[in-house]
Structure 1
Amino acid sequence: MLFALICKDKPGHLQVRLDTRPEHVAFLNDLNAKGALKFAGPFLDGEGKPDGSLVVIEAADNAAAQAIAAADPYAKAGLFESVQVRPWNWVFNNPASA
């Protein structure tokens, strides 16, 4: 089952994001190697600076998706103001259905 992790950064925490990015990228690379990561990237503010994240993962259920979200180094570093974990259906341009 797919889940969208919709993460909003705390205001004024860009440096936390920048400092934690190497660990976050390693975490996503590990998810990708396990086949759990479908895609990911930052949301951008009006100045083009990152201010959140969208991460789409495959997980067994909501509890497993919540655990993955909580294990993200960005979450552990206190970067996020909020994190929504929502079931998601990839309908269009899904490479798995091609």
Structure 2
Amino acid sequence: MKFIFSCVDKKDHAHIRAENRPAHLEYLGKFMDRVVVAGPTLGADGESMTGSLLILEFDDAIAAQEFAENDPYKLAGLFEQVTITPWKQVLPK
């Protein structure tokens, strides 16, 4: 099953994102066979990172939650909010 991970950064935490980006990317690298899409959300300026949006495939919600809990960004306290939602891909087929 695919899951959407919608993560919102805490205000004024860009330095936490920058400091933990290498560890976050290394962590995601361990799940590349499960990644559908992943990347940062952006502010109105089109450059500043404000959060993360990921779609990954896991066997169940427990595995998805475990993935989210162990993300270096989460462990560093970057996120104000994380929402995990099951998702069904319709297009493209």
What TM-score, normalized by structure 2, do the two folds share?
Answer: 0.94
Matched, 1:42 2:40: yes
Aligned to 2:79: 80
5+ residue gaps, structure 1, are: none
Aligned to 1:25: 25
Aligned to 2:61: 62
Residues matched between the structures, number: 92
What SS class does the counterpart of residue 24 from structure 2 fall into? helix
TM-fit CA distance, 1:70: 0.7
Structure 1 Cα separation of the partners of residues 70 and 31 of structure 2: 11
Aligned to 1:10: 10
Structure 2 Cα separation of the partners of residues 18 and 10 of structure 1: 13
List per-residue Cα deviations over 1:28-73 (Å, max 9, x = no partner).
Answer: 11110xx111110000011220010001111111111010011110
Structure 1 or 2: more helix by fraction: 1
Identity over aligned pairs, percent: 39
Structure 2 Cα separation of the partners of residues 75 and 90 of structure 1: 26
5+ residue gaps, structure 2, are: none
Give every structure 1 segment of 4 or more consecutive aligned residues whose post-TM-superposition deviation is greater than 3 Å: none
List per-residue Cα deviations over 1:3-38 (Å, max 9, x = no partner).
Answer: 000000000000000000000011111110xx1111
What TM-score, normalized by structure 1, do the two folds share?
Answer: 0.90
